[in-house]
Amino acid sequence: AVGFEEMGHFTHEFESLLLRIKEGKMVISPPVMNLMLKCNDHLAQWVETLKIDISASMDSTGLLADVAAALNG
């Protein structure tokens, strides 16, 4: 289903952020913590949406841009 493919892409990018923190390559600053919480909320909402409509899609563009910005610097 399309929703799962999109979710897979989003979670992969979010995981990259978490790994960077785990490896000590990024400090958990207030903005990074806020981003992590937003990503968590987004995923929770997405799961609930997919329970209702297996082919549902959610716009992750803004969060993906924020994750990319955090990863790049």
- Residue 71 C-beta-side C-alpha neighbours within 13 Å: 15
Question: In 3D, which of 56, 62, 61, 44 has the Cα closest to residue 2?
Answer: 56
Instruction: Give residues with Cβ within 8 angstroms of 4, minimum separation 6.
Output: 50
Q: What pLDDT, in 10s, does the model give residues 16-35?
A: 999 999 999 999 999 999 99
pLDDT at residue 28 in the model: 94
Question: In 3D, which of 28, 73, 41, 72 has the Cα closest to residue 60?
Answer: 41
Answer whether residue 15 shows pLDDT above 70.
Answer: yes
